[in-house]
Chains A and B, each alone.
Chain A
């Protein structure tokens, strides 16, 4: 009478030769993993290292940043685009020219009226009596104790 182990193993005894073959193959593969695995690994270039250490770990953030910059550049390019050639080459009608001239004149008139004129300074000095009282040296001299104030101060 067979025990359970013998029954279980006996059921698969036919695969013995195949198992021998895969055992040899496994040992061959394990002993010779291939030229790629045997070759000494050289350090990757600096750019590759930077790419692997800086960009790859946060590639999502870089992608979002790149997309944002792309949108900004696109908007800028659209803003700088000159008007269509049809609009540019259209000749101005005499009425438009007249209207434009009228606006230009009006603008010049308005600017001329509101323009702040520079203060014209008189090169010749004013007489000392025109000077504001109390500011000159004579006034300072008059303001000594005991002397009456200038009548102009009481005016």
Chain B
């Protein structure tokens, strides 16, 4: 797992003081992981962009709600998670099931077609395996993969008890491994 966290506390402190550049750097750091996580819920590019933007605005206006500056990332993901859940509930009420095809991945410039194919195969395999997990398991696993959040922070993001998160993560990993072995 790649270490993704740098010390964000000084940036958060500057953001608290109203420094727009600090906000910009914080948002820049999290925009792609947030979008990736949100996309797993929304399955729609424009909706995911809107959700990320709403998350940024909400974070900007409610920074007082963040108690521990070191947990800025999980706090931001928590806001996004709530917005995704709200949207999902609204769509469920409206009985709109938005099942759309995944967008085409970006065209890669690679001189080695074999490496490109191998990489594409790995990506497709991982994504197809993730698709087979339940939403709760996929959500926990995504947060673990994307930001390597600890159990407590994933629990704070998803609103589930830490014990439940630990169990879900364990089962999701085991299921993913089993699916991987089946596919090979």
Contact = CB atoms under 8 A, between A and B. Distances in A.
Contacts of A12: 32, 35-36, 39
A105 interface: no
Query: Helix, strand, loop or mixed for chain A's interface?
Result: helix
B75 to A, nearest CB: 16
Interface in A18-49: 18-20, 22-27, 29-31
B31 A7 contact: no
B130 to A, nearest CB: 8
A14 B56 CA distance: 20
Contacts of B24: 23-24, 27
- Smallest CB-CB A-B distances: 9 pairs: A26-B56, A30-B60, A14-B106, A4-B145, A22-B53, A19-B31, A23-B27, A26-B53, A7-B123
B1 A9 contact: no
Interface of B: 1-2, 4, 20, 23-24, 27-28, 31-33, 35-36, 39, 45, 49, 52-53, 56-57, 60-61, 103, 105-106, 119, 122-123, 126-127, 142, 145-146, 148
Contact of A8 (B27, B106, B146): B146
Nearest to B28: A23
A30 B61 CA distance: 7
A26 B36 contact: no
B126 A4 contact: yes
Contacts of A74: none
